[in-house]
Amino acid sequence: MNRVGVIGWPVAHSISPAMHNAAFAALGLSDWSYELLPIPPDILKLGLRQLRDHGFVGVNVTVPHKQVVMPLVKADERARAVGAVNTIDFRDNRATNTDIAGLIDDLKAHGVELANTNVLVLGAGGAARAAVYGLVMEGANIGIINRTVEKAQQLIDDLGVDARVMSFGDTEDWYVDLIVNCTSVGMWPQVAECPWPDSVPFPEGVTVYDMVYRPEQTRLLDKAEAHGGRAIGGLGMLVRQGAAAFEIWMGVKAPVEVMLEAAREELRQARKLG
């Protein structure tokens, strides 16, 4: 049996097993399985060694291990640039960050133009680092809004990119083509929250990409549609970053639509359970 999985603490909420195992089934790969692998932070190094010794091909990495795993693997340029790993291949101990590909591939799948467009990124954490890196590589002009201005500036300095730190008030004078929410504001169970203040006018006709995928329709997306804009939830990013990891381990094209439907079904079942 060829085994892969996701490490984190906790990982019980992850829908990655559903979409990866659906992909294996669709391709007739009955000798592959994807598992939840909860590893406490204090035994991360030991946990990785145990997985390698027990024949795991590779793993996805989620919080809180994405940064601290870096010295334990051979991180590639993308992972080093954003300071975080989310995929490891144990066969050569190489690691990368497929969140970048997940976002960019999903935006392109929705027909969103990126070159020479003004993109407003909300947040300055790990997800924002991956987003800014990928968007700059695609030729977008970046503005970043974060509660802590210093953290937003640190992101820009660390990545060495041409971007600007902004406030919500600045958006009235800066034409915004695309807003990407990289925060967890509005994520279940705090579904009534929104990263865009009600006191600030919302741009008209703007495309909004919310990395939050539970719920699929957030308050931010509602706000976009109410102002004549386009709303895109983050489930596609989750699936496409998983598909990129799948292709690293398998060396074959991932069945993205199969993975997307499996992820949607998993979310439907989670809603039924409350």
In contact, 220 and 195? CB cutoff 8 Å: yes
Which entry of 66, 108, 151, 223 is annotated as an active-site residue?
A: 66
Q: Is 108 a catalytic residue?
A: no
In contact, 233 and 204? CB cutoff 8 Å: no
Token pair listed for 139 = 């030729």
Q: How far is it, in rounded angstroms, from Cα 62 to Cα 64?
A: 6
What radius of gyration, in Å, describes the C-alpha atoms of the chain? 19
Q: How far apart are the first and last CA of the chain?
A: 34
Q: How far is it, in rounded angstroms, from Cα 95 to Cα 73?
A: 6
Closest CA to 59 of 103, 22, 11, 129: 11
Q: Could you give the strand order of the β-sheet that contains 178-181, starting from the edge strand earlier in sequence?
A: 163-165, 141-145, 118-122, 178-181, 207-210, 230-232
Token pair listed for 207 = 């495309």
Q: Where in the sequence numbering do the catalytic residues fall?
A: 66
